[in-house]
Chain A
């Protein structure tokens, strides 16, 4: 048994890392059958980690003040010891790039390799959302293109001009996804060539759209009928990119870049629980396997377990440091639970989970499908309703027979992006008149918009170039004008 021991040191070195990677990779691929992209593992210092933080983990990004702000904030909290840095960052690309911090001890490095390079990596490669929304082999190229293009624009049109535009685009970054269409991946060279084509073509398109010679004044009814766009559009950035009357071609391209990058992050926002749960589950399984095979010492395992348990710790709702449900904890527990259900199902499980599949879920559907009563009991989950018309909060369901379904439903709903973010759509553009754009906010459960909407309207106005109105539509379908810019 001791012959297989890799090392008893806790200091890492490159040969040791390679050895661990080999063993973990072997287990992951051959024993557990994980399908992954190739790994590119980069060892970085903590300063570099802070750099990586400020560009949302992307290795290359265009310049913008907000990343500087992020950097300053991270550096500050890190220096004052209020926040530890993540042990790793992993980028959904092919090859999959993972950053390891040089300060980590060897058990931590092994954990991170198992977690990021095999856990997250296989999730990126396997999950349907990532498969649909991101192209791992093209993202780095695209970022290079974006950075170059924006630098060029700054040179040509002035930094301030570009900065204003980016500010407005960033504000709408979460509204740049079409949930039902899927663009095909492009390589950088192709992207560049197309970009030039697009520039001239788009402009001619837009000109055509707005080439409305003054006709005889329409009657009011005719106007009403010709609502345009015919269907409300939820992808605000796309709509602006294609239709805003006054944008220059380069501005359209910048809008597009922000939209594309927003789209790249879209799956990550929807699969936090699953992704982290999956990766945590695999580092736990792989490390235990290493231990069982005698590759690592007891001390190594103790250190691993210590950091593993702190990662998956779920403080109860009344703890001082409670800040919502820990996605690592919930995800990990669910993944383990699934394993338990597969390997040794109880009667209850047979009743709740007739059959089952993986890969094709996001957080919302994953929870709706796989949150088992056993887990709800383990976490002692309970649901409350906070209605501002009522004086009290009401506990609507707890972890008991009658409550399971309601509880599962509400938790799944909590992870539904559609409910988490306000539903705002382009409703109408007055093409014949003042070219004003009307947005509609479809209110859910009477939840109003946050106070930022006025500023948001100014941003949208900057992009659109003409008056922008925001109306809310409540649950009964009543329409009310909220703001105008």
Chain B
């Protein structure tokens, strides 16, 4: 009478909808938690899930219940020494109320937090919520040099490998039916005439019947002679090439590695670059990263060297910009690639070089770019580069600059740079 069912293969994510609703409802609190988390994280694991906490009083569901106070009777097991009438000191921490409220917080997160794990996707969604890549629309329209082959029905001409057998044979049947129809109609007529003649008592040997029979035979031969398949029937699968908006992006990371950029500042810059990289990853299938570092001369380097080797010397920013321009010219055609650049510097520059930078940016680099973000990591006063870049900003809408003082600023600054623009 019992019935066994194996449900293990059924979906196990029955609660996904409810989980999403829960996250959506507490989005503001979660966003705050995520922003905190991202600043605290080490650089290497920025791209993973996260444990976040929400104050549990925000998410409690109230019911009417008894509060503390009043008089109540409780029964407990395990009596060892009490006898009736004993008076006991009230235990500390109110364990006398017997209800299991107010358990200590787990994992030292403080007792008021409801702590749980976000998946990588959920974390990223919250991290980049409400941000967008500027000028994304434009890149959908231009950059149509990539093609994708898609099916486009059937054609009467094509390569033999593309013959669609089923379709061709269907056509053949149709053709034979159509061409044979008048002949078959005629046969039916003649057979009716024979019936009619036989009905009037004419014998099978009568010449008129003989003639009709011959005619029917001739017609049948003609039907049989219709070709089973004809070149006319052949149908080929047709493919056309559709232009595809490109979804490749290249990100240029430009960083000053002169003596004034110490490890702390480089780390700040690195965090910023990583955030940008993750954000681009959400929008593009394929991203290439080019690392350019510079002091008085610029070099293209690999990631390791970019972040960890240290040089000393003066600073000539224009060297990096020139190198960037050369690399773009050589390898990244702006009609194919979406080009983003992020530059981090402490603002030091050789004095007369700032104007050169400004000119390179305005005339040569900016027209190629989707977006160029400049962050200055300095607690000090701005120097000539900042003011030169302000002119760039005035000239090009897709240039943005911000200042970072410490790790806490990175995420807010990033949000500021990429916040959704009001339409």
Contacts and interface: CB of A to CB of B under 8 A. Distances in A.
A139 interface: no
B61 A45 contact: no
B304 interface: no
A48 B10 contact: yes
Nearest to B23: A68
B63 A174 contact: yes
Which of B21, B23, B73 has the largest number of chain A CB atoms within 10 A?
B73
Contact of B88 (A54, A80, A393): A393
Contacts of A73: 114, 116
Contact of A393 (B24, B79, B87): B87
A388 B69 contact: yes
Contacts of A421: 64-66
Contacts of A410: 73-75
Interface stretch (B12-20, B196-204, B212-220, B318-326): B12-20
B185 interface: no
A41 interface: yes
Interface stretch (A127-135, A397-405, A428-436): A397-405
Given A18-B4, A73-B114, A394 B79 contact: no
Contact of B8 (A43, A69, A407): A43
B77 A325 contact: yes
Interface string B54-97: 00000111111111111111111111101111111110000011
Nearest to A407: B75
A171 to B, nearest CB: 5
Contacts of A400: 83-84
A144 B69 CA distance: 43
Which of A117, A382, A397, A399 has the largest number of chain B CB atoms within 10 A?
A382
A253 interface: no
A14 B114 CA distance: 40
Nearest to B101: A450
Interface in B387-417: none
Contacts of B114: 69, 73
A48 B7 contact: yes
A377 to B, nearest CB: 10
Contacts of B100: 323-324
A447 interface: yes
B78 A403 contact: no
Interface in A457-482: 459
Contacts of B22: 65-66, 68-69, 71-72
Contact of A395 (B4, B19, B88): B88
Contacts of B229: none
Interface in A208-244: none
Interface string A432-460: 00000000000111111111110110010
Interface of A is mostly: mixed
A68 B7 contact: no
Nearest to B54: A69
Nearest to B74: A384
Contacts of B71: 385-389, 445-447
Contact of A317 (B3, B78, B84): B78
Nearest to B89: A392
B8 A68 contact: no
B117 interface: yes
Contacts of A387: 70-72
Nearest to B77: A379
Contacts of B264: none
B19 to A, nearest CB: 4
Which of B10, B24, B76, B106 has the largest number of chain A CB atoms within 10 A?
B76
A72 B69 CA distance: 33
B1 interface: yes
A448 B69 contact: yes
A347 to B, nearest CB: 24
Given A65-B25, A323-B100, A325-B75, A42 B88 contact: no
Interface string B172-204: 000000000000000000000000000000000
11 contacts: A39-B3, A68-B18, A72-B22, A173-B63, A382-B75, A386-B72, A394-B87, A414-B75, A443-B70, A448-B70, A459-B62
Given A44-B8, A102-B8, A317-B76, 18 more contacts: A39-B3, A44-B7, A54-B15, A66-B61, A72-B22, A75-B117, A384-B96, A385-B73, A386-B97, A388-B69, A392-B90, A394-B86, A395-B88, A396-B84, A446-B71, A450-B67, A456-B62, A456-B63
